[in-house]
Structure 1
Amino acid sequence: MSKVLLVEDEELNRVLVRAILARATDDMIRRIELVEAGSLQVARDALAEHAVDLILLDVNLPDGNGLSLAADLSAQPDRPQVIALTASVLPHERAAAMSAGCDAFLDKPYGAQDLLKIIGEHLP
């Protein structure tokens, strides 16, 4: 079973991700154990407590930029895959996410199939 950390400050967006995962037809995705964090600090605490395979990372959080978390993780040898989730879709913002150590970028708003596809591509 894979463990995914969802770092998202908006409760509605967390509900959406939970619903998408619950309705997935792929057994591997339906069995994901989802750990949720509503802030950067809660995400850091969760990572200290849980080994995760994948992080769905909102970039704009109330207590900081999610890319700082991606940058911190990029130096770790067995780091989880990181997918940046953001409404900021300008080319330089996408480049900043990739430079910070994100493995992929998904624009908000995203559809269920887009989220499932990118998760499937980045789970070990």
Structure 2
Amino acid sequence: MRVLLVEDDEMLGDAVKTHVHRQGHAVDWAQSRDDAEASLEAVAYDLVLLDLRLPDGSGLDILKSLRDRRDETPVIIMTAHDQVSDRIAGLNAGADDYLVKPVDLGELQARIHAVSRRYGTHTLPALVINGISVYPSERRIVAGDGAEILLSSREWAVLDRLVARKRAIISKAQIEEALYAFGAEVESNTVEVYVSRLRRKLGKEAIETVRGVGYRISTDAA
């Protein structure tokens, strides 16, 4: 998934970004309301982790703006506001879940999984490629003989993007978005490298190249 983290606390923000990234997701980190709104205008995110108290305004206004324009991107609020009235205000504004700081990273990951399962468009289906069973939501791949195949976080990022729209052609630029957060250097052959690695692990026919357009999961995938 592509995740937008909106958090002005340096220590917490770094911890959350590192943890979510290690789970195989690309994370953009905005530390102000203005930066968050600019990011949301530029990128289609799969999830927003939102602090309410920002140096230049309220995160609640960001959430209300999203919902006012009918943007249904899942939002999990993370805030030190622990009053019941604050929680009700966040949920009424359209938040999908609410965590009170200090945030437990294990609980955060569980909430992310729960929100992902709740949204059909964000829940990746299991499929079979060349006899290999792929369970993206569980981060698990099982070969025909029962052996598990391990992928790195960036290999999962590429596979997630392809599996999410398994009948569609995904452009190189779309895969690069899944791999990198803002500010990361994108080398010209990065996508090709990760596609090659996936083919070595899943079979060379697992990912098809559509010359001049992009890539897609094999049309034989069930």
Equivalent residues, number: 117
TM-score (ref. length: structure 2): 0.51
SS in structure 1 at match of 2:3:
strand
Deviation at 1:77, TM superposition (A): 3.5
Which residue of structure 1 aligns with residue 86 of structure 2? Answer: 93
Query: Once structures 1 and 2 are overlaid, which stretch shifts more, 73-82 or 91-100?
Result: 73-82
Aligned Cα root-mean-square deviation (Å) = 1.2
Deviation at 1:78, TM superposition (A): 4.3
Which residue of structure 2 aligns with residue 83 of structure 1? Answer: 76
Give the structure, 1 or 2, with the largest relative contact order (CA under 8 Å, sep 6 or more): 1
Which residue of structure 2 aligns with residue 113 of structure 1? Answer: 106
What do the CA deviations read for 1:31-90 (whole angstroms, capped 9, x no partner)? Answer: 211011000000000011111011000000010010011111113344210111001111
**How far apart, in 2, do the equivalents of 1:36 and 1:95 lie?**
26
SS in structure 2 at match of 1:79:
coil
Pick from 45, 52, 57 the counterpart of residue 45 of structure 2: 52
- One-letter code aligned to 1:17: V
- One-letter code aligned to 1:8: E
Sequence identity, in percent?
35
Deviation at 1:22, TM superposition (A): 4.3
Deviation at 1:18, TM superposition (A): 2.2
Runs (4+) off by over 6 Å: none
1:33 aligns with 2:15: no
**How far apart, in 2, do the equivalents of 1:11 and 1:78 lie?**
28
Greater Rg, structure 1 or structure 2? 2
Unaligned runs of 5+ in 1: 24-29
Which residue of structure 2 aligns with residue 21 of structure 1? Answer: 20
**How far apart, in 2, do the equivalents of 1:92 and 1:78 lie?**
24
Unaligned runs of 5+ in 2: 117-121, 123-222
